[in-house]
Structure formats: C-alpha cells, structure tokens
Amino acid sequence: MLTISSVGRRFPDGTVALRDASLRLESGDFIALLGPSGCGKSTLLRLISGLDRPDAGRLDWDGGRAPAAGEIGFVFQDATLLPWATAEDNVFLPLRLRGVSRQNAATDVRSALARVGLAGFEQSRPRQLSGGMRMRVSIARALVTRPRLLLMDEPFAALDEFTRHRLQQDLIALWQSIGCTIVFVTHSIYEAAFLARRVVLMTPRPGRIACEIASTLVPGPETRLEPGYAALVADITHAMGQALEHA
C-alpha cells in the first residue's frame, strides 16, 4: 500500500523529529508504532496522513497516486468531537464536508455507529457519553468514509484499563470485519503485543525504525493469559532495550 523511504522531519524550532525512517505498509496490515514519548510516532502518522510533509525522503503510494478523499481515516488521542452536536452529527461531519446530503448519508452514519456498539445513542451529545463511548464515536467518524487506511494516534491512552481492554478487543473485531489497514501509535508494550500483527519499534528522537517484530497471536478474551502473549511481550521489551541502548 505504501513505501516510506528515508523520511526526515525537522520542525521550525530546529527539533529533528524523524531521521532516515523507512517502513512498508501492506494492505490488510495491523501495525503498532511503539516507542518512547517524543520519538516521532505521531509525526510519522501525520506524514502518512498528509497533514504534514517530510523534509527528506519520500512516501510512495501503491499505483503512484495519493489516496483520494476518504481513503484515510484518522483517530486522534482525544475524541475531538463537536460538543454541541449529537453522535450522529459528529459521525456525519466528514461526509457533510464532502458534500454528501444528510439523507444520502443516513444509512452509512447509523451503520458506522452500530459497528462500534453505539446503536441507540445516535442523538446523544458528548457530555452524555462516557470517555470510552466518545472514543467510539470518534472511531465511527473515521470509519464512515470506508477508509482503506485507518491511522490511530494513542486513542485509548486516557481510558481506564477496563474500557481500554474492551475497546482493544472491539478494534480487532472491526479490523477483521472491514479489512482495512491500521497503523496504531502507542507507548504501551502490552497494547502493541495484543493488537498488532507487526510491532514496529522506534528509537528515541530523532526517530528511526529500530526493528520489527511479527506476531502470530490470535487476539481474544484469553490472549493475555497465554504463554505466547507473555513471550511476545518479553521479546518486545528486550528489543526495546536494545533500541534504547544503541540509539
């Protein structure tokens, strides 16, 4: 789907966020970008999304064209919902901005909310929803355009562990049902081990790709209790130590 070749990003204040970072995304991937705070994970996500541009290197999309409108969905760390709007109106927003009428969007909006378990909450406003439910609305908003690529920037970081575990399991089910590619930024080794098929480790700033670790786990309610999960967490922890040591 996408080849990222030796990209770099320097901010106006002189901070070098990324240097010589390379990565390949395949269709249907679930990749976790894992690394310490400030290592450039979110910056790399913004480059992939087109919200920012690299100062060096290049991003080559399959077929030689940039993604069309709606082909990339983005879920931020904060739910970023319009506080005065209903869940339905928040999910409708990206379609409205593309000129789709409310009538023509109604089925897709309700379907997106149902996919994230919010059928019946269409008319609820953010203040009436829990933190986990607000994040579900944000995910529904990203899914309503039926993206090929879903980018998620630490979306569960501020949630309690009970809610976080439930949303992780629900996200796996969504990924399996819709078949899109997901790039998920996290600083949690445990979250990366549970979710991703490929865990991509980044070095401290300036961020580079240190290594990749493949997973063969099948995520489920009991996965965190399996020896394979503990072994994967240990492998990632060791690799992260190596990356920090040689940064």
Sort strands 72-75 and 149-153 into parallel, antiparallel or unpaired. Answer: parallel
- pLDDT exceeds 70 at position 153: yes
Confidence of residue 56 (pLDDT cuts 50, 70, 90): very high
Amino acid type, 90: N
* Tokens, residue 24: 């390949």
pTM for the full model?
0.93
For 150-162, b/e burial (b = at least 16 CB within 10 A) is bbbbbbbeebeee
Q: What is the pLDDT of residue 246?
A: 64
Q: What is the pLDDT of residue 147?
A: 92
- pLDDT exceeds 90 at position 46: yes
Amino acid type, 12: P
Return the percent helix, strand and coil in the chain, to nearest 5. 40, 25, 35
* 140 C-beta neighbours (distance < 10 Å), count: 26
Q: What is the pLDDT of residue 247?
A: 61
Length of the chain counted residue by residue? 247
CA distance 5 to 127: 43
- pLDDT exceeds 80 at position 169: yes
The partner residues of 56 in beta bridges, in order of sequence, read 8
Instruction: Find out whether 215 and 184 touch, Cβ atoms under 8 Å.
Output: no
Dump pLDDT digits (tens) for 129-148.
999 999 999 999 999 999 99
CA distance 4 to 22: 5
Q: For the chain, what is the radius of gyration of the CA atoms? A: 18
Please give the order of strands across the beta sheet that includes 198-202: 72-75, 149-153, 181-186, 30-34, 198-202, 209-214
Task: State how far the alpha carbon of 185 is from the alpha carbons of 6, 30, 68, 126, 147, in Å.
Answer: 19, 11, 23, 24, 18
Confidence of residue 82 (pLDDT cuts 50, 70, 90): very high
